[in-house]
Amino acid sequence: MMIRILPIVGLLLLIPLIAMQLTNEVNWSFFDFIIMGGMLTITGLLIGIILKKVNNSKNRRILIVTIVIIFFLIWAELAVGLFGTPFAGD
């Protein structure tokens, strides 16, 4: 499962890396890449486990959508401070 997930994570992390070369609007630090890589890897692993273990397609869809929503909420909080936690980005 990791053999499929890690190349996809790497390709997704190339998007901000390339954008940083083309514009000053994207300004990620090494720490940002580490955090996003971890988030993407964990999300991919959780979705892979759900696809493998959950047989009911309705429950599978609900769980995957829930995981993706949680991923986007955490991402938004870290990026712009959606909820105003101490982890909020600036």
Q: Residue 89 above 80 pLDDT?
A: no
C-alpha–C-alpha distance, residues 58 and 13, integer Å: 31
pTM of the predicted protein model: 0.88
Q: Residue 90 above 80 pLDDT?
A: no
* 11-70 pLDDT, tens digit each: 999 999 999 999 999 999 999 999 999 999 999 999 999 999 999 999 999 999 999 999
The closest alpha carbon to 41, from 89, 79, 3, 15, belongs to: 3
C-alpha–C-alpha distance, residues 85 and 83, integer Å: 6
Give the confidence band of 80 by pLDDT, cuts at 50, 70, 90: confident
